Amino acid sequence: MATLGRRLPRPALALLLLLLAACGFLVLPSLLGAADGGQRLDLRELLALSVAAAEAGGRRVRAVHEAGPDLQQRTKGQTQEGAEELLTAGDLQSHRCMASLWASTFPGIRVISEEHDEAALDLSEPWDGKIPLEIQEMVPSGQTVSMESVTVWIDPLDATQEYTEGLLSYVTTMVCVAVDGKPVIGVIHKPFTGFTAWALVGHGANVSARESYDERSPRLIVSRSHAGTVRTFSQKAFGTNVNIIPAGGAGYKVLSLLNLNKAEQPDQADAYLHITFIKKWDICAGNAVLSALGGHMTTLDGKDIDYLDSPGNKEGLIASVGLDHQELVKKVNGLEEQRLTFPAHMRRYCDAL
């Protein structure tokens, strides 16, 4: 976990803004608010910057892949179940790009990224301040939050394993803005199609839920790494007719719940189920998108997931939109106890942190 950037003293920040303005540089209204002590950030700006950061990181991810077969792949560690956690040049370049954009635009804002890098951030190119037209049309300006209440979660490359295997449809870059621990802005970008899903809770989204979902025999999208284990427990919860869709990447799984065409999203599911430990940068953006559409992402026992600081969620998750989420929780809640019957290495994984 890394916190990026330092908050400048007010006089120094005010002087910096005056110098930038004198030189013809863009001065964001939200930064002007910070100069007079308000430290207020405009949600529309935060959404537009989130989109810009996810797409900029995605361009780095794609460029590394297209440059040749050598992704400079290495192992950065192991999961609690003993699987290798991979790191590639795509992960690092995307991280540097995304984190630098945030730190140079809003010095002092709290950013938590999946990756950790010793290289200094490039603060020479802040966000250009452009608000996409569709965001201008759907999201009013003037809706602000305090900088102190904001935590930005970024996943520079979701589905790294699949990235190394050439399964590129699973790959996403993601940005989430949490306010007081609640996911408010979510952006999921697919670098290899160029598609970007975004949402701001209470104000709108460029994606929507499907018209219908199957609650009796749902299609559950789950992680490729333990689809067999999930199938066993899902059949106990939903019956033998349950359909299991193995997939990579949490961002991809959330998109499978939405009303997207096959070209953008090959799989369609009714609910997203994860029964082991998962990092919050993997799920925060998807949580915000679903919340904006009236959906839910909770732990297996129905609790909201907090995005203040702790990077891990060890209580599993169930995500849905267009279904009775509480009924889903009733069905899967028993999985928490059933996990005690996992093999020893899986129990260690579930109970990590």
Name the binding residues for Mg(2+). 114, 155, 157-158, 282
Q: Which of 301, 234, 303 is nearest to 269 (CA)?
A: 234
187, β-bridge pairs: 175, 198
Q: Which of 341, 352, 297 is nearest to 321 (CA)?
A: 297
Q: Which amino acid is at 279?
A: K
b or e along 256-266 (b: 16 or more beta carbons within 10 Å of the residue's beta carbon)? bbbebeeeebe
Q: Which amino acid is at 147?
A: M
Q: What angle do CA 135, 254, 280 make, to 5 degrees?
A: 90
283: left (phi over 0), alpha (psi -120 to 50) or beta: alpha
Annotated binding site: 114, 155, 157-158, 282
Q: Which of 47, 110, 108 is nearest to 288 (CA)?
A: 47
Tell me the C-alpha distance between 247 and 250, whole Å. Answer: 9
3-state helix, strand, coil in the chain (%, to 5): 40, 25, 40
For 247, the 3-state DSSP assignment is strand
Tell me the C-alpha distance between 151 and 3, whole Å. Answer: 9
